[in-house]
Amino acid sequence: MAKAAQHSIIARQGARSRPSVPRPDATRVFVVANQKGGVGKTTSTVNVAAALAQLGQRVLVIDLDPQGNASTALGIDHRRGTPSTYDALVDGVPLDEVIAPSEELKGLFVVPATIDLAGAEIELVSVVAREGRLKKAITGHPLVGTAEEAGEERFDYVIVDCPPSLGLLTLNALVAGDEMLIPIQAEYYALEGLGQLLETVEMVKAHLNPGLDVSTILITMYDARTRLAAGVAEEVREHFGPQVLRTAIPRSVRVSEAPSYGQTVMTYDPGSPGALSYLEAAREIATKPRTTQGARA
């Protein structure tokens, strides 16, 4: 624990000395989704969010997964009864009333998920415009919008961590988002199941949210020692082109250990290859021109 605390202090000091990246002109709403489990979805959500905060951005993470793993990794209480995404989605509580600031990183805020969220899909079935509840909550927040509308205290990024399924919670996220970040594991069958996700995205674009784009693909669990990983990465780059970040996230024990200490790897071990890779990936997201084309068939 003492070592983890020391790393946290180093991370905070390092964050102050790192050159920040330019803030976007308006809040960018990212949805992190892949219904295939074990691809590093939540891990990527929390570490990209923490890295963006270290780069001087104001970031809001919305945990939409009833398991609450993002809340755990960000050190935010998500016991039953805690103000959470459930209250915002089902009861219409303003987002501002369910946000908790991170104690680890300045500029990082979280809407936690409690186990109550597991029943939200059933409870929302009879609600009018049920697929737009999250969008309404996000756009209704006074710190979401352009620099002129929301001012200096605005959120630069809202990042939504979806459950590993294509149910009503994920649909709410897709309707609310401007951009999608899809983590893809550098392993065999990496692209399997992705077709279903992209079909869902196209359906949402056609009927509910024409502005949604798959802007960012992040290759995770990359093992540079294997030809398989290199082959998968090449296949993903051929399929998605410039949407794929140059930075791939390596397999890392430190990345896996961090959540058990209620931290991201960015504070748990800021000098580790995993932390440095997520920092570089976040820098790419913040500085690369937005790619609006769909994946090539």
- The dihedrals phi and psi of 232, each to the nearest 5 degrees, come to -65, -45
pTM: 0.91
Condensed to tens digits (0 to 9), the pLDDT of residues 85-137 reads 999 999 999 999 999 999 989 999 999 999 999 999 899 988 888 999 999 99
The answer to whether position 294 is within a domain reads no
Q: Does residue 294 register a pLDDT over 60?
A: no
Check the CA dihedral 228-231-233-235 and report its sign. Answer: negative
The answer to whether position 295 is within a domain reads no
Domain count, the chain: 1
Q: Where on the phi/psi map is residue 109: left (φ > 0), alpha (ψ -120 to 50), or beta? A: beta
Per-residue pLDDT at 38: 80
The answer to whether position 292 is within a domain reads no
Condensed to tens digits (0 to 9), the pLDDT of residues 76-93 reads 999 999 999 999 999 999
| Helix (H), strand (E) counts: the chain | 13, 7
Per-residue pLDDT at 2: 47
What gap in Å lies between CA 133 and CA 115, rounded to an integer? Answer: 19
The answer to whether position 280 is within a domain reads yes
Taking all residues of the chain, what is their mean pLDDT, rounded to a whole number?
Answer: 90
Condensed to tens digits (0 to 9), the pLDDT of residues 229-276 reads 999 999 999 999 999 999 999 999 999 999 999 999 999 999 999 999
The answer to whether position 296 is within a domain reads no
The answer to whether position 52 is within a domain reads yes
Q: The domain that contains 149 carries what CATH number? A: 3.40.50.300
Domain hosting 156: range is 2-287
Per-residue pLDDT at 296: 34
Per-residue pLDDT at 10: 52
Per-residue pLDDT at 9: 54
